[in-house]
Amino acid sequence: MFQPIIAEYYQKPRVSEVVFGSNLIADARAAIQSLGKNTVCIYDKTLKEPKLDLPNTLFLPVDAGEKCKERKIKEEIEDALISHKMGADTGIVAVGGGSVLDLAGFVAATYCRGLRLCFFPTTLLAMVDAAIGGKNGVNVKNVKNYVGTLYHPQFIFVDFSYLQTLPDDERQNGLVEMFKIAQVYSPEKVQEFDRTLSNEIKSASFQKAIYDSIQMKIALVQESLQDPSIRDLLNFGHTIGHAIETLQNFQISHGRAVCLGMCAEGYISYRLGHLSKAEFDQMQNCLLQICPGISLRKRYPFHAWIDALMLDKKTKEGNIHIVLLTKRGVPFEKKSSEVSLEAVEEAVLWL
Ligand X SMILES: NC(=O)c1ccc[n+]([C@@H]2O[C@H](COP(=O)([O-])OP(=O)(O)OC[C@H]3O[C@@H](n4cnc5c(N)ncnc54)[C@H](O)[C@@H]3O)[C@@H](O)[C@H]2O)c1
Residue 246, interface with ligand X (CB under 6 A)? no
The Cα 316–Cα 337 span in angstroms is 11
Residue 86: name the closest of 53, 34, 39, 30 by CA.
39
Q: Exactly one of 173, 196, 213, 269 binds ligand X (CB under 6 A); which one?
A: 173
Q: Exactly one of 170, 194, 212, 265 binds ligand X (CB under 6 A); which one?
A: 170
Q: Which is nearer to ligand X, 194 or 245 (by Cβ)?
A: 245
Kindly report the length of the chain.
351
Q: Which is nearer to ligand X, 89 or 169 (by Cβ)?
A: 169
The Cα 268–Cα 274 span in angstroms is 9
Neighbours of 191 (CB within 10 A): 13
DSSP alpha helices (H): ranges in the chain?
Answer: 29-33, 71-83, 98-110, 124-125, 168-183, 187-199, 204-224, 238-247, 254-271, 277-290, 302-309, 341-350
Q: Which is nearer to ligand X, 91 or 241 (by Cβ)?
A: 241
Q: Which is nearer to ligand X, 152 or 274 (by Cβ)?
A: 152
- Lay out the site mask for ligand X across 37-66 (x = CB under 6 A, - = otherwise): -------x-x-----------------xxx
Residue 224, interface with ligand X (CB under 6 A)? no
| CA distances for 210 relative to 21, 47, 129, angstroms | 12, 22, 10
- Minimum distance from residue 263 beta carbon to ligand X (Å): 20
- Minimum distance from residue 267 beta carbon to ligand X (Å): 24
Q: Exactly one of 32, 52, 60, 102 binds ligand X (CB under 6 A); which one?
A: 102
189: Cβ–Cβ under 8 A, 6 or more apart, which residues?
Answer: 181, 182, 212, 216, 329
Residues 127-146 that bind ligand X (CB under 6 A): 129-130, 133, 135-136, 144-145
Q: Exactly one of 38, 39, 90, 99 binds ligand X (CB under 6 A); which one?
A: 99
Q: Which is nearer to ligand X, 144 or 327 (by Cβ)?
A: 144
339 - beta bridge partners?
320
Residues 247-276 that bind ligand X (CB under 6 A): none
- Minimum distance from residue 75 beta carbon to ligand X (Å): 18
The Cα 288–Cα 295 span in angstroms is 10
- Distance separating the N- and C-terminal Cα atoms of the chain: 64
Positions in the binding site for ligand X (CB under 6 A): 44, 46, 64-66, 69, 96-100, 102, 122-123, 125-126, 129-130, 133, 135-136, 144-145, 162, 165-166, 170, 173
